Every structure is written in structure tokens, then in C-alpha cells.
């Protein structure tokens, strides 16, 4: 199916930030008093939902805004060392050239998203809805749909986590999962997304 509006997640979908996330996670745990993560626990985390991960790490929910704010600051500091996945620039350029409207919905700041994409690729994105809370993507999706003037049936959200699938469905969007991000692809397939992309180039073939 050809979608008029394509909404991308950022971390784990367009930008390869999972190695960076793991590199700072235990330092953040020490600072905010939640449980550290061992190397042997990473696979289990990749097969868990966001809520399950918070429970596993014993993260107090009231500390989440503080933790998110601190993580954003760390990411801003380290952004130049966090690359886009190969093929992102070419894929977004091709989708844009074929007439699709592109959007990014992210928990990161818009400044970080634009800097990660670079000026040329960021210019291809018509709508940014950034600063989403951990479970706040449905509201951001609705805002993008309204700004774009596109009904949910004509749009698809592409992400790398179970919560991306859940958020898309809450708004009536088609949803696609990528196999190269934070969550294990088996955990994503278990939620039966409309599409699963094993490679970046599969996106162009499937939605265009």
C-alpha cells in the first residue's frame, strides 16, 4: 500500500543509539538509584516491554522525568559519536522524491533529531513532534496527523519497540517494526505489526 504520511521513530530506527544507551545506562542507574544492568541481561531487556524494563530495573516512576532529562543531556553531549544507520539519508531522500510526507516522532529533543539527521536530510522531514514521554507517543502521533491533514488510514508509523506498535494502534495507524533497533525482532513479531523490515532498503519497497 502507498502511504501518504510516513512517521519515523528516531532512536533504534534511524539512529544507531543502542550501543550508546548501554554505555551510559549504569552510570544513570547509580545517579538515580535504580538497579544496574549486567551484560547477561541485555537479551532479556530486548524482549521486554518498556513497563517490564522499568519494573526489572526498579525505576521509580516519579523519577522518570528527571532520568529522561538527564539522558537527553548526555545524548546531546555525545551526539557526534552516535551515527545514523547506513542508508537512512538515501531512503528518506527517495521517499521524499516519490511524494511521501515524512515526519519524525521522538522522545529526544527536536534539536538533537535535526542535528543527527543533518541539514539536508532534516529538510526532507515536514513535521517534527519531539520530546515525547515514555508512553506519550499517541498524543504526538495525533498532533502530526492533524498538522499534516492526513487521516490515520493514509499513514504508517515505523519504529523499533513494542511501545511504538502499541502507540500506533492506539491512534489507528498502520505500524511497521524494524529488525535492527532496541527490541528483539521476535518480540516485535509477537505483536503482529503490519510490516516488519529486515533491512533499511525494504522500507522503500514496501511503502512506495
Cell numbers describing residue 30: 547509580
Radius of gyration over every alpha carbon of the chain, rounded to an integer in angstroms: 16
Cα gap 28→11, rounded to integer Å: 18
Q: Per-residue pLDDT tens for 164-180? A: 999 999 999 999 999 99
Is residue 12 located within the same domain as residue 35? no
Reply yes or no on whether the pLDDT at 133 is more than 70: yes
Q: Per-residue pLDDT tens for 106-125? A: 999 999 999 999 999 999 99
Is residue 89 located within the same domain as residue 99? yes
Give me the pLDDT at residue 134, please: 81
Cα gap 75→148, rounded to integer Å: 29
Reply yes or no on whether the pLDDT at 85 is more than 90: yes
pLDDT-derived band at 208 (thresholds 50, 70, 90) equals: low
pLDDT-derived band at 186 (thresholds 50, 70, 90) equals: very high
Domain count, the chain: 2
Vertex 156: Cα angle to 133 and 153 (nearest 5): 115
Is residue 54 located within the same domain as residue 116? no
Is residue 114 located within the same domain as residue 137? yes
35 versus 135: which is more confidently predicted?
Answer: 35
Give me the pLDDT at residue 1, please: 63
Cα gap 161→51, rounded to integer Å: 12
Mean pLDDT of the chain: 95
Question: What is the extent of the structural domain holding 74?
Answer: 18-81
| CB 163, CB 175: distance < 8 Å | no
List, in order, residues 6 or more apart from 60 with CB less than 8 Å away.
Answer: 33, 34
Give me the pLDDT at residue 205, please: 87
- Which of 64, 81, 98 is a domain's end point? 81
Amino acid at each position: 500500500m502507498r502511504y501518504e504520511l510516513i512517521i519515523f521513530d528516531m532512536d533504534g530506527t534511524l539512529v544507531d543509539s543502542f550501543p550508546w544507551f548501554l554505555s551510559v545506562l549504569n552510570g544513570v542507574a547509580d545517579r538515580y538509584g535504580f538497579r544496574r544492568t549486567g551484560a547477561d541481561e541485555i537479551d532479556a531487556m530486548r524482549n521486554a516491554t518498556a513497563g517490564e524494563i522499568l519494573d526489572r530495573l526498579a525505576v521509580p516512576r516519579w523519577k522518570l522525568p528527571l532520568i529522561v532529562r538527564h539522558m537527553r543531556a548526555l545524548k546531546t553531549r555525545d551526539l557526534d559519536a552516535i551515527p545514523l544507520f547506513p542508508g537512512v539519508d538515501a531512503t528518506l531522500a527517495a521517499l521524499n522524491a516519490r511524494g511521501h510526507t515524512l515526519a519524525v516522532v521522538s522522545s529526544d529533543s527536536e534539536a538533537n533529531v535535526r542535528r543527527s539527521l543533518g541539514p539536508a536530510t532534516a529538510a526532507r522531514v515536514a513535521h517534527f513532534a519531539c520530546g515525547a514521554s515514555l508512553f506519550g507517543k499517541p498524543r504526538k502521533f495525533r498532533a502530526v496527523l492533524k498538522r499534516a491533514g492526513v487521516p490515520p488510514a493514509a499513514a504508517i508509523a515505523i519504529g523499533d519497540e513494542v511501545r511504538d506498535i502499541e502507540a500506533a494502534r492506539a491512534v489507528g495507524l498502520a505500524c511497521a517494526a524494524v529488525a535492527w533497533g532496541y527490541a528483539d525482532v521476535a518480540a516485535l513479531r509477537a505483536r503482529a505489526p503490519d510490516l516488519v523490515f529486515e533491512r533499511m532498503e525494504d522500507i522503500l519497497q514496501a511503502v512506495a
